[in-house]
Amino acid sequence: MSPAPAVPTVNVAIIGGGLMGREIAAAIQRWPALIDHPVRPRLTAVCDINPAALDWFDQIDTVTTKVTDHRDLLDDDSIDVVYVAVRHDLHERIYTDVIAAGKSLLAEKPFGIDGSAARSIMAAIAAHPESFVRVSSEMPFFPGAQWAIDYVRSGALGRIVQARNAFLHSSDTDVTKPVNWKRQNRFCGEAGVMNDLGLHAWHVPLRLGWAPETVYAQLQNIVTERPGPDGTNVPCDTWDNATLHCWSRHEGERFPLTTAMKRIDPGQKNTWEFEAIGLDGGVRFSTSNPKRVEVFAKVDVPGVGREQAWQQLDVGSQSVWPTVTGGIFESGFSDSILQMWAAYLAERHGALGDRFGTVRPEEAAHTHAVFAAASASAADGRAHDVAPLTR
């Protein structure tokens, strides 16, 4: 057997070795599953202020550098790309440090704790064009989500009627769950659940050109206190649930777009849903049933006549970048993370072509404008305009 062709190595560092830092480290170990990817990432360095969090990375033998201050990674010329997964109040400082060091960045959402932080990160990007920056959002890389996006792009909807994108949890229905940084405005941001789940619900709408013109928002803080570190209740001041009713445009036609972001949606474990309906067709996908894509059409039913039908399709394993996984096999969360990284590193290498890409900085920054309009709407009970997305 001839050896695999040599491809350039990209050295990756992770800042923040928590839930997402470990997930990304594991995804990079699965890189050989990708077919003919133009680069090969190697995780070489990890930073976490908590030294105990670094121990987990000992099982990855390419990791040769472990530090507790992120600035110690930035002077290391061997590091090409940095993935940062830390609290929202730390995004601005760490992202701008990484960008100013000239390293590429895969940032986590919400891309700064608020609009002002996002603008400062955008200014750093403008000053350092050598730093290739994108933002994490993996759910659209489920194969079923890709089919839904391709369906809409094909023009099959005809004149659009309505669309919806949602990210729904029930993780906070347990009122005895201790408070953590994601449930406190000073660390998570005033936008609360919109900061936490919003980019998941906006990546596809923004990429389809559906930036909202106006927003009417319903924001709920359902659980207002949670046990603190010593067991006594402390304020849990973040919005738990957000539903944004927007006017957007598809091919020039104005239509109602709803995005929902909920930490308290009983029955939902970790559900990303997309639906778009038009006069000629419709499409639905939910990670609750990750093999299934539904498309709407009028069909001739033998013996009955022409009827409306939601048709069910099974999607296989293939997403944006081809893999060795059998085409009929199922796909899951960690596959979507691998696909997101495949797209990010291919785009950085100039090899993504017309495939679906990770969130662009201007899209992530724009979500803060949407969330600010939503907060204003929740405050006065009226719909608010959102400035157009500028690229």
Ligand X SMILES: NC(=O)c1ccc[n+]([C@@H]2O[C@H](COP(=O)([O-])OP(=O)(O)OC[C@H]3O[C@@H](n4cnc5c(N)ncnc54)[C@H](O)[C@@H]3O)[C@@H](O)[C@H]2O)c1
Per CB under 6 A, residues contacting ligand X are 15-21, 47-50, 53, 70, 85-88, 90, 108-109, 136, 138, 196
CB 31 within 8 A of CB 42: no
Find the shortest distance in angstroms from Cβ 54 to ligand X: 9
Position 116: which residue type?
S
Find the shortest distance in angstroms from Cβ 328 to ligand X: 26
Nearest alpha-carbon partner for 134 in 300, 380, 281, 343: 343
Find the shortest distance in angstroms from Cβ 136 to ligand X: 5
Find the shortest distance in angstroms from Cβ 326 to ligand X: 26
Please identify, using beta-carbon distances, which residue of 136 and 248 lies nearer to ligand X: 136
Give me the residue whose beta carbon is nearest to ligand X.
18
Please identify, using beta-carbon distances, which residue of 26 and 49 lies nearer to ligand X: 49
Please identify, using beta-carbon distances, which residue of 58 and 307 lies nearer to ligand X: 58
Find the shortest distance in angstroms from Cβ 191 to ligand X: 12
Q: Which two tokens stand for residue 193?
A: 């659940």
CB 365 within 8 A of CB 118: yes
Find the shortest distance in angstroms from Cβ 125 to ligand X: 18
Annotate 140-171 with DSSP letters as a single string.
GGSHHHHHHHHHHHTTTT-SEEEEEEEEEE-T
Taking the C-alpha atoms of residue 222 and residue 236, their distance in angstroms, rounded to an integer, is 9
The C-alpha R_g of the chain, in whole angstroms, comes to: 21
Find the shortest distance in angstroms from Cβ 76 to ligand X: 15
Please identify, using beta-carbon distances, which residue of 108 and 294 lies nearer to ligand X: 108
CB atoms within 10 A of CB 267: 9
Find the shortest distance in angstroms from Cβ 92 to ligand X: 12
87-115 per-residue burial string, b: 16 or more CB within 10 A, e: under 16: bbbbbbebbbbbbebebbbbbbbbbbbbb
CB 98 within 8 A of CB 105: yes
Please identify, using beta-carbon distances, which residue of 53 and 345 lies nearer to ligand X: 53
- Integer CA distances (angstroms), 25 to 17, 53, 99, 196, in order: 9, 13, 21, 21
Please identify, using beta-carbon distances, which residue of 21 and 212 lies nearer to ligand X: 21
CB 31 within 8 A of CB 86: no
Find the shortest distance in angstroms from Cβ 358 to ligand X: 11
Please identify, using beta-carbon distances, which residue of 90 and 219 lies nearer to ligand X: 90
Sorted by sequence, the CB contacts under 8 Å of residue 378 that are 6+ apart come out as 217, 218, 219
**Helix, strand, coil % over all residues of the chain, rounded to 5:** 30, 30, 40
Please identify, using beta-carbon distances, which residue of 19 and 304 lies nearer to ligand X: 19
DSSP count for the chain of H helices, then E strands: 10, 17
Please identify, using beta-carbon distances, which residue of 49 and 60 lies nearer to ligand X: 49
